[in-house]
A and B are shown apart, each in its own frame.
Chain A
């Protein structure tokens, strides 16, 4: 099977024009190598930008990897429009450190929006390593919720939330985390927290866990160019030091991240993004 070929696509969620799409892509090398937590960089076309995406799943036998993309910007929309039989222009990886997978005990995984796709491979691996996995997933609304069944299959406990209450419990993933840590019933003994989602969610997670003593990791989705430590575009301040998400991460200790700086950096090309989306889509 030719490398970079789109083998299959599926729309996982769709709500008012915002879609989340799953792509199965041929890449025998990456399918052999990718470990939970790692990402790849793709270019849709020769003119394309390089964007990082988490490897959600892999099928070594078929030589394919799974990507899940939310159509939030220009390049993700181009990705969302690809059909089986199309090809990517470039794919490279796996990049970044993989998640440290071992038996920690009880692990709480929190996924917000498309971040649910990113906690899935980690949840699966942690479950296989013997952990008790509790997953907390949330989306804006019912129609944007993804991977509920998949996460249910690898989790001892699953909490589902929507912001608008259209499905599951009404509220935010962080509400559940608060309950789990210092809830009305009895607090859980938690050995590790792993959260992926929008920056405000991850920032809030870092605030909630403060003082709990529970190790809390987040996986960042910074802007990148090369993804191999060459440009420094993905830099983030961790414990007062400049780190590169691509080679030092993508996982960092949530409590050490300068969230406000990260939030601002994530908006550096907001104007161009708006411009190209208006112009070309």
Chain B
């Protein structure tokens, strides 16, 4: 059955855990051509249905086979502004590759034989970066309009790009001192090379997008003031910024981190370079990460690297209440984590953190679980096994069980209605919120999703904004 799938080259596990260099090296031209040639160009391609933004996958792969990488780049750009980023972080095994015709029916994830669409996308995106390919400019001159974008994460950057290309004067306002949102504070450099991120943000600046850091909208400025300053529309790409905790005893102990804090200290503040960089992070002998998503994988792989880089025998464990199949993380990240030596303790639920007399966590009391029937998420529910209690050594715990809406802006802007989770409610067609000319997209709408889903929403919002602006001309 056809040619063998082409694996993207990677740095070997024992080498890569010594630092934060990108793990996946990606395809060479030859490898990309070989992988692209496996695509059978289905008459009715199913892969496109799996893409949240509907990239014409069939077309761009066909362009790769013709070595017309330039056209492939622009084909992707019609739907996705940041192929180099998405090619790295998209969970393709749940999306396009899963709906690829080569994936067997009823499999939970893409089969190994499915076309590695994300690696091809990354190849094309990186070709675009290397060759400084620029998206086509504005059709209409909308330069007399100003739009404010709140947040410089995936949604904000995408919306900014869409609008700027139509000539709109865009200002992005970021609360932190550096840009990129979760792409910088959350996703570690070994998964997304900072050079790629910096390039994409720099491209926006070249489109005359103004990016202001250190500006917390809702505090430094209000949404109302933005309109007073003459902005025609505001897009909220706030992200899901507030960490969830387990609500179990001992969570306030020292060295119990939220994944957000742990990753932000390392990724954004460069705590792994302490004391050259001044932000500290604690590193332990027994580091335990709780959760089964991509954030948990990221935190565990960061933890293990910190141990390795500090001469500590790596001992990092992931605790998850269900089994590997139910883990929401990317299969590639689970695989990478295992290769790097992360231990997985599955069907385990922490019930208490216990501390020493100085208030530092020293172990976790856990219960074993078994799987029951499916819950509202469709995944099998973990059920605690009575009397199965055991104690796990732990001097650093990282809680990576999900994020909620950050309510700093919405609490200061009562006209922007939120649902019971604090997420902004929008008109699904236009992405406009209950406040006129205020749009939203990304994780602040409907909770945690993927980078590409955020970009899809941002693009939709940008189109609505443009439509409204054109009505004014």
Question: Which residue numbers of A lie inside 8 Å of B, CB to CB?
Answer: 29-30, 33, 43, 47-50, 74-75, 89-95, 225-226, 228-233, 235-237, 242, 247, 258, 260-261, 263-265, 267-269, 272-273, 275-276, 279-280
Please determine whether A225 and B269 come into contact, CB atoms closer than 8 angstroms: yes
At the interface, yes or no: B372 with Cβ under 8 Å from chain A? no
A258: B residues at CB distance < 8 A: 252
| Contact stretch, chosen from B4-12, B160-168, B256-264, B344-352 | B256-264
Residue from A48, A74, A92, A242 in contact with B175 in the complex, judged by beta carbons closer than 8 Å: A92
- Report the Cα distance A237→B253, complex, angstroms: 11
Please determine whether A268 and B255 come into contact, CB atoms closer than 8 angstroms: yes
B251: A residues at CB distance < 8 A: 242
Interface Cβ pair total, 8 Å cutoff: 128
Question: Which residue numbers of B lie inside 8 Å of A, CB to CB?
Answer: 175-177, 185, 213-216, 219-221, 241-243, 245, 247, 251-255, 257-258, 260-261, 264-265, 269-270, 274-280, 282, 358-360, 406-408
- Report the Cα distance A228→B408, complex, angstroms: 7
- Report the Cα distance A97→B237, complex, angstroms: 23
- Report the Cα distance A237→B251, complex, angstroms: 10
Residue from B175, B252, B258, B407 in contact with A237 in the complex, judged by beta carbons closer than 8 Å: B252
B216: A residues at CB distance < 8 A: 92-93, 95, 228
Is chain B's binding surface mostly helix, strand, loop or mixed?
loop
A54 to chain B, nearest CB (A): 15
Given A90-B214, A94-B219, A242-B252, the answer on whether A229 and B408 have CB atoms closer than 8 Å is: yes
Please determine whether B242 and A47 come into contact, CB atoms closer than 8 angstroms: no
When C-beta atoms are compared, the residue in chain B nearest to A3 turns out to be: B214
Please determine whether B265 and A225 come into contact, CB atoms closer than 8 angstroms: yes
Please determine whether B358 and A230 come into contact, CB atoms closer than 8 angstroms: no
Please determine whether B260 and A232 come into contact, CB atoms closer than 8 angstroms: yes
- Report the Cα distance A187→B219, complex, angstroms: 41
Please determine whether A49 and B220 come into contact, CB atoms closer than 8 angstroms: no
Please determine whether A91 and B282 come into contact, CB atoms closer than 8 angstroms: no
Residue from B185, B219, B242, B282 in contact with A269 in the complex, judged by beta carbons closer than 8 Å: B282
Given A47-B270, A50-B269, A94-B219, the answer on whether A231 and B260 have CB atoms closer than 8 Å is: yes
Please determine whether B175 and A226 come into contact, CB atoms closer than 8 angstroms: yes
B271 to chain A, nearest CB (A): 9
- Report the Cα distance A64→B130, complex, angstroms: 44
A242: B residues at CB distance < 8 A: 245, 247, 251-252
B253 to chain A, nearest CB (A): 8
Given A231-B264, A233-B261, A280-B275, the answer on whether A33 and B219 have CB atoms closer than 8 Å is: yes
